Structure 1
Amino acid sequence: MRNIDSEDNVTLLGSNNTQYNYEYDPSVLETFENLHPDQDYVVKFNCPEFTSLCPKTGQPDFATLYISYIPNQKLVESKSLKLYLFSFRNHGDFHEDCINIILKDLRKILDPKYIEVWGKFLPRGGISIDPYVNYGMKDTEWNKMAKNRLFNHDLDPENINNR
């Protein structure tokens, strides 16, 4: 069993004194060492309760976020990711901006081989918006994969029966 120590900078996991920030706060994100950097694998988070605010109307926007990445040297600690995503609750930005901000913040702390963020927002005004963004390390096979995924990410769209 893995023993998380102070070198991992993980302070939120197991804490009973969690502070919830109601404003966008990327500083809450924490990482820990990838013990398998020689093995390529995917880490996927499904976040069905993402909320942000429309910057024009102030009305809430709800989405399911899919965050997938192939780690390099670091992994994101899941409780810190939950708190980070929660910090968007009162953040006013368009859907596309939220998705790009999340990808950029995770890239900054993780330096992953590959990462993608897909937001499937519930409709408002009779239309839903599903922004998708990804990144692959430059000058690697992951950059080629990112371009291929971007070009082909929604060739087989889901059946919409819940929105």
Structure 2
Amino acid sequence: MSLKEIKNHQDLPKDLTLGQSVTYEEQYSNALLQAVPRSVGRDTLALGTSLPFKGVDIWNGYELSWLNTKGKPQVAILRCIIPHTSLNLVESKSFKLYLNSFNQSHFATWDDVKATLKSDLSACAGESVSVMLLSMNEIAGQPLGALDGTCIDEQDITVSTYQPDANLLITLDDVVEETVNSNLLKSNCLITNQPDWASIQVRYSGRKIDHASLLKYFISFRQHNEFHEQCVERIFCDILNTCKPDKLSVYARYTRRGGLDINPFRSNFEQAYEDIRLPRQ
């Protein structure tokens, strides 16, 4: 499906704030949250109702603040986990505007803030969302992490394709279990065309995927327009359908925008990994 067709998809909300000039609300408002049906991306993959993966979308929010009952500002790091089975994505700009609406709002306790976030985000996503609030003391001193596996970025390749093309993927005769990663994934926002930067990890077992071909495939997303979650599901399905591994996990960690980073994980055999923070995040 072309970008124009995706933008005109009948299920894509017509009133998204993404790409629009907005007024920042100073008081809490859950009406700022906007949902995007997951079907917008999944229909282009012809997935139907039987999904070939499980997984989560891990969000980290670094710009959350509110006032206690004495008017003193409180700050926290937000971590929330949205299951892959939720009806909707939470649109990221609306998420940012929603969090900003807490800035001048009073809450009696941290638990009240957490409960409010969980209720609102779950309603937007259409399924229960896990929410954690981390204090500065809890987060301070935590080391930067790294993706597992062999980085394939040093492959000496010539690239000329900048739209996703599963035909770039080549499998070899060897049967392996391996984990590889790359820091060269870039796509563009579906609505604004702004660049989205990510590091990606693929763990699989089956016929060995030629590393040069896999890197070319990752780079082919460079001028592609989709949301983070949609890109990861497209990558998962392309590798699964083209390379036919017995087991497959795809995990991307995107750099933050508007104080939020989004980290989708999809797998047909394992649970999501522990949340980490990469150097570019």
TM over 0.5: yes
Q: Identity of aligned pairs, percent? A: 27
Structure with larger Rg = 2
1:26 matched to 2:159: no
1:120 equivalent to 2:253? Answer yes
- Name the SS of the counterpart of 2:262 in structure 1: coil
Aligned partner of residue 98 in structure 1, secondary structure:
helix
When residues 70 and 55 of structure 1 are mapped into structure 2, their CA distance, relative to the original with a 3 A threshold, is same
Contact 2:187 2:222 in 1 (8 A): yes
Q: What aligned pairs does 1:1-163 form with structure 2 within 5 A after superposition?
A: 18-34=158-174, 37=175, 42-71=177-206, 74-135=207-268, 146=269, 149-150=270-271, 153-154=272-273, 156-158=274-276, 162-163=280-281
Alignment partners' CA distance in 1, 2:161 and 2:256: 26
Structure with the larger strand share: 2
Tell me the secondary structure at the aligned position of residue 131 of structure 1.
Answer: strand
Residues in 2 aligned to 1:86 and 1:75: alpha-carbon distance in whole angstroms: 19
Residue 198 of structure 2 aligns to which amino acid in structure 1?
A
TM-score, reference length from structure 2: 0.42
Divergent runs of 4+, >4 A:
159-162
> Number of residues paired by the alignment?
127
Aligned partners of 1:120, 1:54: CA distance in 2, in Å?
Answer: 15
Structure 1 length-normalised TM: 0.70
